[in-house]
Amino acid sequence: MANVDSVTIRVFSLNCWGIRYLSKHCRQRYVMIGDMLCKEEHDIVLLQEVWSEKDYLFLKKKLVCSHPHSHYFKSGVIGSGLAIFSKHRIHDTFLYRYSLNGYPYMANHGDWFGGKAVGMAVLSIGSLTANVYVTHLHAEYCREKDSYLPHRVVQSWELQQFVRHTSAGADVVILGGDLNMHPEDLGNRLLRSYTGLRDSYVETSNFHGCENGLTLLGDNPFISKKELGSFEKGIRIDYILYKGSSKTDICCESMSTTKGSVPGHPFPYSDHEALTAELRLESHAASESGRNKQSEDQESDTEKVAELVDIVTEARTEVKVGLHCAERMRYTATRTAAMGLALLFLELVIAAVPWLALGAEQPFPRTSFYLLAVLCFVILLTTSLLYIFYTMEVKSLQGAEDQMRLALGGLQEKLRGFPLAQPHNAQRKSPEGEEPSAFDPEE
Amino acid sequence: MANVDSVTIRVFSLNCWGIRYLSKHCRQRYVMIGDMLCKEEHDIVLLQEVWSEKDYLFLKKKLVCSHPHSHYFKSGVIGSGLAIFSKHRIHDTFLYRYSLNGYPYMANHGDWFGGKAVGMAVLSIGSLTANVYVTHLHAEYCREKDSYLPHRVVQSWELQQFVRHTSAGADVVILGGDLNMHPEDLGNRLLRSYTGLRDSYVETSNFHGCENGLTLLGDNPFISKKELGSFEKGIRIDYILYKGSSKTDICCESMSTTKGSVPGHPFPYSDHEALTAELRLESHAASESGRNKQSEDQESDTEKVAELVDIVTEARTEVKVGLHCAERMRYTATRTAAMGLALLFLELVIAAVPWLALGAEQPFPRTSFYLLAVLCFVILLTTSLLYIFYTMEVKSLQGAEDQMRLALGGLQEKLRGFPLAQPHNAQRKSPEGEEPSAFDPEE
């Protein structure tokens, strides 16, 4: 396979829903997944929610012949749940932990403990260098009132930054995983527009699988219909994205998803459907086709930059909303701490100056005194921890917002630089300053 | 300055020691720093320990003419303290937070709250793209018994990964900051060897400043001699590192440090000395000189890979030591929690079954009952938090160790691939398996 001019690779992605003792039929499903992967021999297998290292090791053992190279990304308390198996040599790996990932006290949602991240592996496919990314973003528990939206937007922002900045040396970029976002959700648009990654499902003309490419099906036995809300049939939240480089063209020859049930088995592989994309890579001389394309694409480039300005502005607004919430929560924690402190002070005063007590003849009851003191301490401890946590959240949101503002400045500079962009730019500037913040990058 | 073939830039780095209300003469020192930067007009200014955003904004206002472009990196509770000011346009920024950074309960050391990180800024210098990094690693409080060493080694590991993976598209790479490591410390060697970054102080033939390039001087009025231990004169822990690319050569024309006192002022800029490096960038056609060099350098490449194997092996050992400690701490937390739980259980039993109490005629005193219960709850809460924290530490250390093992496998493969490397490799394999772990990458 060395020095190939053209090669086809098969990429697989699945959210395994592998919470030991909690996920239904976990053990049996891993056996099914292992058997299938062993048989199918995909070039690259990207798994999410492999929460237990034991399950990863089980798969590793099972796939030792078909996929001799593998890596398990560790992060957070029980996570990251990300694993990669490959037929091609993995040279290098790198993990980026998202700065925001839910709240530790939302233990029922558990995302915080998963330490969500994006894992990168550098692979050699023949003579080509492929940067392969696997990720899993924060879940969406309630679409109508999604308190995690700012976190997911910041995760998307960091994901696109990570992919963009680490893939400059790669011939091919492949990203797979559970993005927990509908195809046209803000974070998804941000990721695709900024990185230039293309969606296998959209790009291929040869698709087999669930209607509309759904990956979370309404009739999956492990899913309660309630979770899907108004999307009764299901939603598409798992993706395989890709892009080439100046040296390599890439296209999606075919794409498929599992359709719920697995022949010969009483239940599916997971609560998500598995994705398989067949990608054709073709290496060519960088200069020629690249340069021809460049002049052709100038007009569409302008469009793209203008679109990106809109998307980043939208993301920035969302981050600002999150910032407002985080600051309010931090303020609440501070106020509660102050009340706890005041209560403690009052109690000490009452105890120290017995004649202040209402019934002067009987002293402050000892049991009540201790209980009240303990209550004050618990309040102070909890609010201090919350204050620290919210301050970190505020810092992360502010940091993302600063970066977005800087990026917007650069994009608008670029727009002004495009000869074709002038009218567009002028037009965007005029409508009664509806989004002035996008135009003051150095504010 | 556009499309230059050769350009000289001046890079400045300083740890500002800017803890409001705690650092001595903080306000006055920022005024001095601002005046000096305004006058000196360095191309790139990299600052650390700018803990307060107000101080950053003060500098930003002051430097608006000399350094119109700037960015402040936010992370952690009060950090990251990193700031960059530039004469050249900053196009893009990205922040990587180190996965390990001390312990939150070591509030007197405070590093955890700083959210140590590496900040990246993409700059245009004429026609060249420069990736500029600014960082600050965990402090070393006691060299003889440095419990933070594994954390600092993991930080160095992540720093080299971040620089390596994000700089593929850059013509020039510049890294400045307070690494909190002596020149030949493990983390420093790891960083330099893996990334190919060169040390301005070592490379230049034109140095002005403190003897041996020291940046933390024994006679700095803000430093207690005790901190420096046996290094009475001082230590060198601040650096400006750089490297070029196949398209650009870079060399350090001169380098200087401040020498403690500042003329006309009663105290220095900070407890660290400031560094200035004058770097000459020369762009050239990539192919010719690059290819010639390639064949020449094969022998030295082998040496380098062999050296890297040694360094990564050493780092891996250090991480394993840290892992052992973290696991022991987690075990202690678990055991203490179990004891707390047992105590609580015992208390409840005694209270519920009065005849079990020693003095059967007098019941369990209420005050003691409540106090004991509270003690149990405090123990349980604290140990739970510690358990979570240590588990995250264990995961991060394991993750780094996994990546190091993978990297070692790749490096050894490379060594075996070098025709010149065979004897070296064989020699390394023989000595009674003193470090066998380095040779079982897939163990």
Chain B: closest CA distance from residue A70 (Å): 10
Dump the DSSP string for A150-172. HHHHHHHHHHHHHHHHH-TT-SE
Q: CA–CA separation, B315 vs B160, rounded Å?
A: 13
Q: What is the pLDDT of residues A144-197, one digit of tens each?
A: 888 899 999 999 999 999 999 999 999 999 999 999 999 999 999 999 999 999
Give CA–CA dist B77/B65, Å, rounded. Answer: 31
Question: Is the pLDDT assigned to residue A236 strictly greater than 60?
Answer: yes
What is the C-alpha to C-alpha distance for residues B123 and B172, in angstroms, rounded to an integer?
A: 10
In angstroms, the separation between the Cα of residue B161 and the nearest Cα of chain A is 7
Between chains, do B165 and A165 touch, taking CB under 8 Å as contact?
yes
Confidence band of B216 (pLDDT split at 50, 70, 90): very high
Contact A75 B407 (CB under 8 A): no
- The answer to whether the beta carbons of residues B131 and B122 sit under 8 Å apart is yes
d(CA B124, CA B131): 9
Q: Which residues of B touch A382 (CB under 8 A)?
A: none
Tell me if chain B has a CB within 8 Å of the CB of A276: no
Yes or no: say if B113 and B155 are a contact pair by the CB < 8 Å rule.
no
pLDDT at B232 over 50: yes
Render A281-321 in DSSP notation, one character per residue. Answer: EEE--SHHHHHHHHHHTHHHHHHHHHHHHHHHHHHHHHHHH
**B405-440 confidence digits (pLDDT tens):** 999 999 998 888 865 434 333 333 333 333 333 334
Per cent of chain B over pLDDT 70 is: 87
**B371–chain A Cβ distance below 8 A for any pair:** yes
Is pTM, for the whole model, over 0.80?
A: yes
- Is B272 an active-site residue? yes
Q: Is B77 on the interface with A (CB under 8 A)?
A: yes
pLDDT, mean of residues A437-443: 39
Range of weakest confidence among A17-21, A28-32, A162-166, B103-107:
B103-107
What is the DSSP track for B168-209? TT-SEEEEEEE--S-TTSHHHHHHHHHH--EEHHHH-S-EES
pLDDT number for residue B342: 94
The least confident of A243-252, B129-138, B158-167, B417-426 is B417-426
CA separation for the pair B86, B165 (Å, rounded): 23
Name which of A74, A78, A161 is nearest B399 (Cβ-Cβ): A74
Which pLDDT value is given to residue A417?
80
Cα distances (Å, whole numbers) of residue A371 to A342, A347, A368, A374, B214: 16, 11, 5, 5, 56
Q: What is the pLDDT of residue B374?
A: 84
Chain A contact present for B93, CB below 8 A: yes
Beta bridge partners of A207: A255
Is the pLDDT at A286 greater than 60, yes or no? no
Residue A433: band (very low, low, confident or very high) from pLDDT cuts 50, 70, 90: very low
Question: How many inter-chain contacts (A to B, CB under 8 Å) are there?
Answer: 113
What pLDDT shows up at residue B418? 66
Which residues pair with residue B131 across a beta bridge?
B122, B173
State the burial class of residue B303 (Cβ atoms within 10 Å of its Cβ: 0-12, 13-18, 19+). Answer: middle
Residue B297: the pLDDT is 63
pLDDT in tens, B43-90: 999 999 999 999 999 999 999 999 999 999 999 898 899 999 999 999
* Omega of the bond leading into B80 within 30 degrees of 0 (cis): yes
Share the mean pLDDT of chain B.
Answer: 87
The predicted pLDDT at position B296 comes to 56
User: What's residue A266's pLDDT?
Assistant: 92
Q: How far apart are alpha carbons B88 and B42 in whole angstroms? A: 10
**pLDDT (average), residues B113-140:** 94
Chain B residues whose CB is inside 8 A of the A388 CB are 77, 104, 113
Q: What is the pLDDT of residue B439?
A: 37
A203: helix, strand or coil:
helix
d(CA A33, CA A270): 9
On whether any CB of chain A is under 8 Å from the CB of B124, the answer is: no
Tell me the sheet residues that pair with A173.
A131, A243
Tokens of A223: 């899913």
pLDDT value for A432: 39
Cα(B270)–Cα(B16) distance, integer angstroms: 5
User: Which of A90-94, A230-234, B247-251 bottoms out in mean pLDDT, i.e. has the lowest?
Assistant: A230-234
Q: Who's near A207: CB < 8 A, 6+ residues apart?
A: A201, A213, A254, A255, A256
Nearest Cα neighbor of A148 from A112, A178, A117, A113 is A112
Mutate to test the interface with A, among B395, B404, B416 (most CBs of A within 10 A): B395
B188 CB-near residues (< 8 Å, 6+ apart)? B156, B179, B181, B182, B239
Model pLDDT for residues A55-90, shown as the tens digit of each residue: 999 999 999 999 999 999 999 888 899 999 999 999
Over 90: is that where the pLDDT of A367 sits?
Answer: no
pLDDT tens column, B336-368: 999 999 999 988 888 777 655 555 555 667 778
Per-residue tokens: A299: 């007009």
Q: What are B277's two structure tokens?
A: 């490096």
End-to-end CA distance of chain A: 53
Q: Answer whether A92 sits within 8 Å of B399, measured CB to CB.
A: no
CB atoms within 10 A of CB B441: 16
What pLDDT is recorded for position B417?
Answer: 80
Q: What are phi and psi of B78, to 5 degrees?
A: -125, 5
CA B316 to CA B310: how far, in whole Å? 10
Whether the link from the prior residue into A80 is cis, omega within 30° of 0, is yes
The beta-carbon neighbor of A367 closest among B91, B104, B367 is B367
* Average pLDDT taken over every residue of chain A: 87
% of chain B exceeding 90 in pLDDT: 68
Confidence bin at A363 (pLDDT 50/70/90): low
Among residues A126, A151, A105, A131, which one has the least CA distance to residue A46? A131
The pLDDT of residue A359 is 52
Which amino acid, one-letter code, is at B385? L
Average pLDDT over residues A286-308: 68
Q: With contact defined as beta carbons under 8 Å apart, do A283 and A248 qualify? A: yes
Closest-CA distance, A428 to chain B, in angstroms, reads 22
pLDDT tens, position by position, B141-165: 888 888 899 999 999 999 999 999 9
Q: Is B414 on the interface with A (CB under 8 A)?
A: no
More confident residue, A351 or A443: A351
Nearest chain A residue to B410 by CA distance is: A91
For chain A, say whether B367 makes contact (Cβ under 8 Å).
yes
With H, G, I as helix, E, B as strand and everything else as coil, classify residue A141. coil
Please list, residue by residue across A248-282, b when 16 or more beta carbons sit within 10 angstroms of its beta carbon and e when fewer do: bebbbebbbbbebebeeeebbbbbbbbbbbbbebb
User: Active-site residue among B151, B272, B324, B424?
Assistant: B272
Tokens of B168: 């593929």
Q: What are phi and psi of B134, to 5 degrees?
A: -130, 135
Distance between CA atoms of residues A42 and B27, nearest Å: 61
Angle between helix B298-352 and helix B366-417 axes, rounded to 10 deg: 160
Phi, psi dihedral angles at A198 (to 5 degrees): -110, 150
